[in-house]
Structure 1
C-alpha cells in the first residue's frame, strides 16, 4: 500500500483561509486533500480546520507547515494528526514496527526452487460439490458437512504427486535437480518431493454479486493470476437454483461448498482445488463456513473459517458465538478470514464515528479465540462507499486473523489486500 487517507488538524489557521480553495492549497503541502469535515465546512468549531488528506505511507509527517499569504507574509500553522500509520523499514509493510518484523528473524536454510513444470492432461475436468444436503447432481458428488472429498482419477493406481499449488511434479523438473541427487529413480523422486512443496495461495473477496459476466471474468482472472487453491466468495447474490451453473463458469474442476441451506442468498461460497487439499466441512451457518483442510503432500492439517458478518450488530451475536465454539474444538493452526462488517479498532474507519459498544463484542471474541491479525500489506482500509469526497467513508472490515499455531506452521505467511478497483471491497490473497 502506497497511499492512505488520514485526518489532519490545521491548528490556529486564520478564518480567512477557511475557504475551500485555500484549504486545498494549504493541505496540498501535506498531500492530496479529499474533503473537509462537517464542523470545518459549517464553521461550527473555529479552533482548527480539519481535513482528510491522502498521503504516502512512508512520507515525512511534519509538525507544522508554512505558506505566504496574499501580502507575502509567512504564516506558520501547527499540525495535529488523528492517527498515523505504523510502518516497517524492513518489509515496507504497515501495521507493525521494524523491530517486530518477522523478516528480521534468521532465515531458514533450504534449496531455492527456480522452476516447477505443469503436467498437461487431456482428461476432461470434473467437479466435486459440497452442500449441506445429500444427493447426486449429474456426475458430481454432493456431500454433507463432515465428509471429505477424494478427487483422484479412478484409472490411476499410482496418481502423480501433487503440490498444494495444484501442480504435478515431472521427472525432469530441472536439469540441476537431476544432477544434485545420486542413486536410483525412486530416491531422486523422494528428494524432489521433499524439497519442492510450496503451499498454494488462500484468498477471499466480497464480490457484491456473481450474476454479472464481468464479475465472473474478474474472479477467474484473479484465481489464475494468484495461483489460488482455496477461495472464499462472499456476497454472491446467486439464487439456490442457479449456483451450480454459475460456479461452473468460474472453475468447473473445483469442489465447492455453499451456505444456501442456512441463508437463501448463499452469502458464502468456499471453493478449493481437490488435487491440492482434502477438505472436511465442519460447520455451515448463515455467517460462516468452517472447514478442516489437509494438504495432500505433507499431510499438514489446519482449519479455515470464512466469514461474512451481518450488517446489524444484534445479528452478529451469532457470529461471535460460532467462532467461540469453533475455538473450543480446534487444536492446531487456524485462520479466520472474510468480511466481518465490523471494525476492530477505533482507527479503522474514516468518515463516521466509532463507539466502544460497537467494537467491544468483536474484541471480546478475538480475545477469547486467542487470534490476532496476520501481518498485512496493501490497502489498510478494505472498503469504501465510493461516494463523492464530502460523503466518502473508509472502513477496515475485511481482515485475516490467525492463532499461534498458524504462525508456527506458516511463519512466512502474510495477507495482501489488493486495490478494490471498480468494486467497493479489496480482494485478499495470502
Structure 2
C-alpha cells in the first residue's frame, strides 16, 4: 500500500521505500537512482502537454509525474516534474530541444535538490572530495572600532556590519538578512491573513497611507505590524492616524525596538493576548458572532541563529494546542536547502533548530500558491539571492477545520518581501471547476 501511494517527500528530499527482502544487504546495494523535482523555467506553451513533458524528462531520467500547478496550468512561469535520475553521473543544467520548425532550443533544468554522491566510497549522502568545514559551536561576536574596519567583506566567511555612530561587530554571515519591516493581518469574518514587508518602516507617512489602503481593500479586522522601525515615544502618535475604535498591543516591554505590533477592531473582534515575547505575540482571536477561537502567533525571528533559539523554545513552552493554530510571519530562517538559491549553501547547522522545532510542535506548512521564494536582495547585477523565510505553520486542528485554506504569495511591491494573503473562508463546495480555454490554442496549426 505504501509503495503504491506515490512518492514520499520530506522537506523536498525523497524517502526511498523498497519492498523488503530477506537477502537485502545495505552494504552491497548502491543507491543510484533518486526521484528529484526538476523545474523547467520559461517553457514554451506548446511543450506543456503530458506526453511532451514526459519526453523532456526522459532526457534526464525516468519521468514520474508533474505537480498540480503544472498539470492544471495554474502557473506558467515554470514546469515542475518529478524525475528519477542517476546521481552517480553529473546532473546537467540544461537540455536541448528541437522545435517544430527545426530550431534548437536550450532549456534550463533546475534541480531543487542535488544529493551528494561519493565516488570514493560509492555511496550517496556525502562526498569525501568536498571540503568539510563544520560550523562554529556558537555565534561569535567581536567588537572592533568603526574607523579601523568599515564595511568590508572578508574571504573567511565573516562579514563586518557597521552602523553610524555605533561600534561595529563581526557577525557570522550564515544567510541573507532582510533589513525591512513587515505587515501582517487577519480578517476573522471573511477570513484573511495578510503579510507585507515595508522598506524603511512606518516613519514615512506614505507607508501609513499604504497600510490603511490595504486594510480597506481587504476588509481586515486584525493586523500585525513587524519591524516598523518606530521608536516607543512615537508609537502613540502613529496610533492616532488609524481609526480610534481599534485596540493595540506591542512588545516594547520585551524589545526596545518594539518589532511586533498587533491591532484589531474591538467592535467586531475579541482578541485575548496570551503571551508576549521578544520575537512573537501569541493570542486567541474570535469574531463576536462566533464562539470558536483560533490561536494566532505573530512571529518576527531575529537575524542570528543563536538569537532565534529563544524563539523556538519560547513557542515550545506554549505546548501542543487542541484549538486551530497558525504561526505566521517572518522567521528569518530557511527550513530546508530548497529555500535558498544563489546565496550561501544551506548547512545542516543552519536549519537544524527550525526543523527540530517543527517536528516537536507537529507543525506543517499551509498550502501555498504564487512565488516560492518570499524574499530577494533586489540585485541589479548578477543573479538575485532568493530565500523563503516568510511562511505559515499550522497544527492538525487547523487542518481539520481549515484544510482548504491556501496562502497566496503575491508579487513584491513596496519591499523585497512577497506579501502573503491567507483567506479564512468557508469550505469550498464540491462543484466542478470551470472550463478554461487558452486563446493561444486557437492559433495552433492543428486546432
Task: Give the Cα separation in 2 of the matches to 1:344 and 1:28.
Answer: 23
1:200 touches 1:229 (CA, 8 Å); kept in 2? no
SS at match of 1:376: strand
Q: Which residue of 1 aligns with 2:96?
A: 65
Q: Which residue of 1 aligns with 2:64?
A: none
Output the aligned Cα RMSD: 2.9
Q: Which residue of 1 aligns with 2:365?
A: 373
SS at match of 1:210: coil
2:267 to 270, 275, 280: 275
Unpaired segments ≥5 residues, structure 2: 1-39, 45-74, 82-92, 114-185, 423-447
How far does the alpha carbon of each residue in 1:256-286 deviate from its partner, in whole angstroms, 9 at most, with x for none? 1111111111101111122232111111111
SS at match of 1:399: strand
Q: Which residue of 2 aligns with 1:285?
A: 277
1:203 to 175, 181, 194: 194
Matches within 5 A, 1:398-409: 398-409=390-401
Q: Which residue of 1 aligns with 2:211?
A: 219
Deviation at 1:251, TM superposition (A): 3.9
Unpaired segments ≥5 residues, structure 1: 1-26, 32-54, 85-163, 167-197
Deviation at 1:210, TM superposition (A): 0.6
How far does the alpha carbon of each residue in 1:98-117 deviate from its partner, in whole angstroms, 9 at most, with x for none? xxxxxxxxxxxxxxxxxxxx
Deviation at 1:76, TM superposition (A): 7.8
Q: Which residue of 2 aligns with 1:229?
A: 221
Alignment: residue pair count: 266
Q: Which residue of 1 aligns with 2:411?
A: 419
Task: Give the Cα separation in 2 of the matches to 1:387 and 1:351.
Answer: 11
Residue 303 (structure 1) aligned with residue 295 (structure 2): yes
TM-score normalised over the length of structure 2: 0.55
Matches within 5 A, 1:23-172: 56-59=76-79, 64-66=95-97, 80-83=109-112
Deviation at 1:427, TM superposition (A): 2.0
SS at match of 1:202: strand
How far does the alpha carbon of each residue in 1:229-255 deviate from its partner, in whole angstroms, 9 at most, with x for none? 222111101111111221222443211
Task: Give the Cα separation in 2 of the matches to 1:327 and 1:199.
Answer: 29
Q: Which residue of 1 aligns with 2:316?
A: 324
Deviation at 1:351, TM superposition (A): 1.5
Q: 1:249 to 1:347 in 2, by over 3 A?
A: same
2:294 touches 2:324 (CA, 8 Å); kept in 1? yes
Q: Which residue of 2 aligns with 1:393?
A: 385
Deviation at 1:403, TM superposition (A): 0.5
SS at match of 2:305: coil
Task: Give the Cα separation in 2 of the matches to 1:80 and 1:391.
Answer: 16
Q: 1:325 to 1:165 in 2, by over 3 A?
A: closer
Task: Give the Cα separation in 1 of the matches to 2:246 and 2:267.
Answer: 9
Task: Give the Cα separation in 1 of the matches to 2:317 and 2:413.
Answer: 36
Q: 1:394 to 1:274 in 2, by over 3 A?
A: same
2:274 touches 2:284 (CA, 8 Å); kept in 1? yes
Q: Which residue of 1 aligns with 2:349?
A: 357
SS at match of 2:318: helix
1:338 to 321, 329, 348: 329
Task: Give the Cα separation in 2 of the matches to 1:230 and 1:343.
Answer: 27
Deviation at 1:221, TM superposition (A): 1.0
How far does the alpha carbon of each residue in 1:15-46 deviate from its partner, in whole angstroms, 9 at most, with x for none? xxxxxxxxxxxx99758xxxxxxxxxxxxxxx
Deviation at 1:404, TM superposition (A): 0.9
Deviation at 1:314, TM superposition (A): 0.4
How far does the alpha carbon of each residue in 1:135-161 deviate from its partner, in whole angstroms, 9 at most, with x for none? xxxxxxxxxxxxxxxxxxxxxxxxxxx
1:201 touches 1:229 (CA, 8 Å); kept in 2? no
Deviation at 1:212, TM superposition (A): 0.6
Task: Give the Cα separation in 2 of the matches to 1:332 and 1:211.
Answer: 37
Deviation at 1:165, TM superposition (A): 5.7
1:204 touches 1:234 (CA, 8 Å); kept in 2? no
SS at match of 1:358: helix
TM-score normalised over the length of structure 1: 0.57
